[in-house]
Structure 1
């Protein structure tokens, strides 16, 4: 399907990709802690018939340098942009920290009809990097809503990587230990998935080395089902933190982080999830 691309500078840096024949489903596509604009994934969805919008939600002009006290209104404003195109349905596709944002805003903005959370968390976490004041400590929430911080889990500063110095690091045990050590904060920071009234798809790998996304996804699905909503989990024991959808290039190797999985396992998880992603978003070419 032929597509057209339009760069955005206001209210946020980003890109909107539209099928030449138009589309009635709008999808907000959110990257994780890379901070990039998800051009490749947006193109993939647009070629299936969606109007895809991806924004830089931190690290851009006037934004915090890190994921620190990011206003969730940032994502509500992006939904406004999609609705201005005349779409009948809005979905959010987010990965990792982008999935955390997607799940949070979907519980606050009833205009969101569907969420696809790749490698999600069931909790809101402390900041990663500095806020607008340039400081990364003391820990603050990654998010705010209406000027108030979202409850969050801080990190256990006694944790140390198991890998040799200079090697890529797995952070999974940091999140597991922080979850256990700050149990009271974790209870308060549970993402209120019960408020999400739209369709929900959770995609996660059991070999995720960044955080335990598959257990997080299973917890979210249980809590969502208790609220009498439908949720589906697509999981794989061998995939890592970066599932790749059909048509996407393999994720680049990292000298900094251990993401888990393998190119073949991550691609297999993405392929298994792909038809469910299209179904959840209700994209029809």
Structure 2
């Protein structure tokens, strides 16, 4: 079943995925990727005796998280279309060593239609997303399993939250970045970086657990480059990162064809995904569902 949010078209490619992903928590369209340069440029970090480039610091952010063990997580995903802003907020914990996390997502009233949707539980794992309380006739005690390497966007936005470690892995593809300055965040002093990353480059440099999803994303986005703001503490741990993705669609929801007026027929929609990490070392016990707990029937668009 096709799911639309106030005029935000869903292309045929995504409708095919909707049978597996239940239409996506953030109604959007995804497109085939266009090529782009992977040249890396960097602004040097001012001050200090060891002058590291901003790009170098950001490239290793994912590795630092893995060494940090675990943390609590807050997520926010926002988009606006037709004058309406849609936000999905989540909270939970993540084990960076095991690459597993658990989130509880709160969906706004308009994101799922007229009726308010109950909170959704998501389990994040390497190459997989498990969702419970999806509605659409799925029993409350059953999980829906999604192969994130088969989703056109690699589940960077479809599930309503970006996997925290994948958000850090995206920074391996940073092409250009600069240090904005030092700021306070949750009582700590952090360094604020701003720049551009490339999904395709990140996919090639990603760790094994993230590579499949990022390869799918590199194929699925029209815009391979993503702007970001990242905040790292004195230990090099990523404390917050905000990626701004661009997805495109035709107003009539049909797939745009190549040609001189193709860009005009497509509409660009911005999706901002923010991941906040705090309370490092907090327990993050995540047990994946047993095969008998996974729903194997047909999945429709989510409803109350």
Same fold (TM over 0.5): no
More strand by share: 2
Structure-2-length-normalised TM-score: 0.28
User: Which structure ranks higher in relative contact order (CA pairs < 8 Å, sequence separation ≥ 6)?
Assistant: 2
More helix by share: 1
Q: If you compute each CA radius of gyration, which structure gives the higher value, 1 or 2?
A: 2
Structure-1-length-normalised TM-score: 0.29
